[in-house]
Amino acid sequence: MKIKVWKMMTLVLASICVIGAVKGTKAEAKQDTGQVLEDYVNDHFDNSTCYAIENIGKDKTPVLLIGKEIADEKNHTYVTCDVYACKKGKVKRVYKNYSNEGGRTLYLYEKEKQLYLGAGLSDAAFRLCIDGTTPCEYKLYNGLSKSVYKEGNKVKKSYGVLSGDKYDKMRDTFTYKRVITFREKPILFDKKKSVSYDLDGKGKKEKITFTPKQKSSGLYKKLVISINGKKKYTLTEKYGFYMYSFQRLKLKNKKIFLYLATYGDSEDGSHVVLQYKSGKMKKMIDFDSVANCRWVSDVKVSGNRVISTMQDSDMPGLGYTDFRTSYSYKNKKFVMDNKVHPILRYRNIKNGKEGVFTLKVKKEFTIYQTKECTEAAKTVPVGAKVKATEVYINQKTSAVHVVGSGYDGWYSSKDISYEILFEDVGGVA
């Protein structure tokens, strides 16, 4: 009898261990999937992206939601989103423009322990979950149309046209949980932070720790990066910083880099791209070495290029101006593709309008035939209307390309210094 009891206890303990191991494996799988989705956001979306990761997959597996049409900018809620799922380490978009018609916010619901993305109107309810990479969706209507349950594009069950009572009963089988809040990218940090990324492309994740140090008058002076517990890089900020952000960049050729930014007074700081290779970390791009770059608003990857949106608060003649730069990875280094950069936007400081819009000249200026500004072409008079389309930047001077009212040429920073040439635009030094 004692032997039988002992064997039974052994079997029970073994069962408990197996169950615990399975639960542990599932928890680890969810954590890994969440990290894969975070990495995907870093690798494929710029810093204007708002996203959420919710456990609406089967067995509450994490799923990525990319915000499209915003409902409330202040509270980071959305009306429309794209849905991405991960299977075997690969991420794909499984639903485009999942929409809550009528301008209502997207919600989270639950039914029989399964979480759902929820949308709908007063007489319609839509509930979505993901099985692997297959969208599973309830589309319920109050007498308006046939209510169905779909898996992918196939209708698996039709409920016919529901009466008001039946519609209410089916809708109420889903329990409201909360509003889905999207978050901005990148996330800013003001304390020590650790993450796990594959930084050298060898398939194994490194533990990366960011430690701000030497705080004085509310400002940090240094940001130390450690890999697996060993210090590898120190960014020293002369004027100090309050917060920092980081972003993993993965090129088409599978080379991996780390974008690092700091934010001090007036959000001034450093903006660099680093590479961790052979146990060492080195600087690959210093965006701040580009004249007319005061801030970097976003960084993203396209093929084997790193594309950034740079911002200047005192672009000659224009003031606040955003322009795009790109760097190609060639022969183990990044090379700027061109010294001529498209202007993305400037700002009307009176009405807040942004973009490449028509400007009215308030102070006459000389334009040149080429970007080097060696041969004068014409004088642009007060009252002429032009658009600023490109900026040419070298280490000493810059030139802005303007077109309109019969004029087409470049004005030089050497001629105008910090003067504003156009009405209703401006900046600060």
Of 271-275, 395-399, 418-422, where does mean pLDDT reach its minimum?
A: 395-399
> 372-376: long-range contacts (C-beta < 8 A, 24 or more apart)?
372/399, 373/397, 373/399, 373/410, 373/411, 373/412, 373/414, 373/415
Q: What is the pLDDT of residue 188?
A: 85
The pLDDT of 152-156, averaged and rounded, is 95
Judge if 279 and 411 occupy the same domain.
Answer: no
pLDDT band at 158 (very low <50, low <70, confident <90, very high): very high
pLDDT (0 to 100) of residue 104 = 83
Average pLDDT, the chain: 89
Is residue 230 domain-shared with residue 379, that is, in the same domain?
no
Query: What average pLDDT does this structure show over 399-414?
Result: 96
pLDDT of residue 416: 87
15 pLDDT above the threshold of 90: no
Per-residue three-class SS string for the chain: CHHHHHHHHHHHHHHHHHHHHHHHHHHHHHHHHHHHHHHHHHHHCCCCCEEEEECCEHHHCCEEEEEEEEEECCCCEEEEEEEEEEECCEEEEEEEEEECCCCCCCEEEEECCEEEEEEEECCEEEEEEEECCEEEEEEEEECCCCEEEEECCEEEEEEECECHHHHHHHHCCCEEEEECCCEECCCCECCCEEEEECCCCCCCCEEEEEEEECCECCEEEEEEEEECCEEEEEEEEEEEECEEEEEEEECCCCCEEEEEEEECHHHCCCEEEEEEECCEEEEEEEHHHCCCCCEEEEEEEECCEEEEEEEEEEECECEEEEEEEEEEEECCEEEECCCEEEEEEEEECCCCCEECCCEEECCCEEEECCCCCCCEEEEECCCCEEEEEEEEECCCCEEEEEEECCEEEEEEHHHHCCCECECCECCCC
User: Where does the pLDDT of residue 429 fall: very low under 50, low under 70, confident under 90, or very high at 90 and above?
Assistant: low
Six-digit token pair at 176? 């409201």
Residues 327 and 405 placed together within one structural domain of the fold: yes
Q: Are residues 398 and 334 in the same domain?
A: yes
pLDDT at residue 390 is higher than 90: yes
Which residue segment(s) compose the domain that 354 sits in? 307-429
Count: domains in the chain? 3
**Same domain, yes or no: 180 and 143:** yes
Mean pLDDT of 345-370: 94
Mean of pLDDT values over 267-279 = 95
pTM here?
0.69
Q: What average pLDDT score do residues 119-148 get?
A: 94
pLDDT of residue 2: 38
Asked if residue 1 belongs to a domain, the reply is: no
* Residue 87 predicted with pLDDT over 50: yes
Last residue of a domain, one of 241, 260, 289: 289
- Verify that 321 and 264 share a domain, yes or no: no
Span 176-199, mean pLDDT? Answer: 87
Lowest model confidence (mean pLDDT) among 189-193, 298-302, 362-366, 368-372: 298-302
pLDDT digits (tens, 9 = 90+) for 21-75: 444 455 556 658 888 898 888 778 876 788 999 999 999 999 999 999 888 877 7
- Asked whether residue 235 falls in the same domain as residue 324, the answer is no
Is residue 294 situated within a structural domain?
no
The pLDDT of residue 28 is 54
Using the predicted structure, report yes or no on whether residue 202 has a pLDDT greater than 60.
yes
